[in-house]
Amino acid sequence: MNSFWVSLQFFALIFAELTVLFLGISTLVGLVFEYVSDETLRRWLHRKGWLGYFLGALLGAVTPFCSCSTIPMTVGLLRAGVPFGATMSFVLASPLLNPIILTMFLALLGWKACVAYGTVTFLMAMICGAVLMWLGLAKDVKNVRISGGPHQREPLPTFARKVRRAFAGAWGDFRGVLLYLLIGVAIGAAVYGYVPSDAVVRIAGPQNPLAIPVAAAIGVPLYVRAETVIPISVALTQKGMGIGAVIALIIGGAGMSIPEMSMLAGIFKARLVAAFVTIVFLTAVLAGFVFSLI
């Protein structure tokens, strides 16, 4: 019964948080686009080759969004005609990199951990965009327009009317992903309430040669911000969990939670979601092995 109430509280808290975040950030993005033309945004991010992926990852690295908060921004970028590859680099980098996360790594785990984490995640964000573009998965985006000319908006004379139009667009996007969000949060709540933490540590301890990939897989269904799980990782390492497994858990949890996968399923086809999850998993495993070496 206690686990049931824990799960129910988690569900209510996370669903309320994601609802506020989605509507708030979607409205904010829409409001920004009222003042920044699509053509300007495309000119900033529309770069060929690796420069475009670099700029997409850089945008993600300076935006302090959690994984689910990234989705409204992603929709906005795609609607503005930002190249698919650069947008996907943003999607991976946004929840994993920002100055706060890197500062916490520096303070709690040292400069080597900070440099290794920042380098691996940034490079993998760039590679993510390049690989998904090379595979031709841009056509697997649904419910948003990602090609053609700039999205034309009738200029509005007052700030209040701009806010109302931005919120109307946010509400429409939210309704489109609501079912996916409910399913994802329900699964995450069940995991949160019924899976014991000591079992996670036992399965992903350093004595297990598969600890790092197992930790990455365990992290996927957990809805956590990197800023939240980094202090917890210090306690996990003290309990005997390997540092590589801890880093894999951080990236798996912060980079691709079940709620985010559910929300991505609202705008991406299954093949693209599967490809993105695979890249996040490989990023978590690679970073885990890098940390084990240092």
Mean pLDDT of 231-249: 72
The answer to pTM > 0.85 is no
Give the model confidence (pLDDT) of 170-186 as tens digits: 788 778 667 767 776 77
Q: Give the tens place of pLDDT for each residue, 91-131.
A: 888 878 866 677 767 776 778 778 888 888 999 999 989 99
> Does 246 score more than 90 pLDDT?
no
Q: For 154-165, what is each residue's pLDDT tens digit?
A: 666 678 888 888
Considering 76-80, 149-153, 222-226, 284-288, the range whose residues carry the highest mean pLDDT is 284-288
Rg (CA), the chain: 19
Quote the number of domains for the chain: 1
Whether 60 and 89 have beta carbons less than 8 Å apart is answered as yes
Q: How many residues does the chain have?
A: 294
pLDDT band at 238 (very low <50, low <70, confident <90, very high): low
Closest to 121 measured CA to CA, from 292, 285, 294, 293: 285
Average pLDDT over residues 27-55: 75
The pLDDT of residue 89: 92
Q: What SS3 state is found at 256?
A: coil
CB 216 within 8 A of CB 281: yes
Paired with 141 in beta bridges are: 268
Percent of the chain with pLDDT over 70: 70
The pLDDT > 90 percentage for the chain reads 4
Distance CA 203, CA 211 (A): 7
Tokens standing for residue 10: 């988690």
How many whole angstroms separate alpha carbon 286 and alpha carbon 289? 5
**Which residue carries 């670099």 as its tokens?**
54
How far is it, in rounded angstroms, from Cα 139 to Cα 186? 30
Nearest to 121 by CA among 293, 263, 265, 291: 291
pLDDT per position as a tens digit, 24-39: 877 876 787 677 665 6
Nearest Cα to Cα of residue 169 among 143, 205, 196: 143
**In this predicted structure, what is the pLDDT of residue 250?**
80
Phi, psi of 63 (to 5 degrees): -110, 115
Q: From the CB of residue 180, how many other CB atoms can be counted at a distance below 10 Å?
A: 18
- What's the domain range around 271? 2-149+157-293
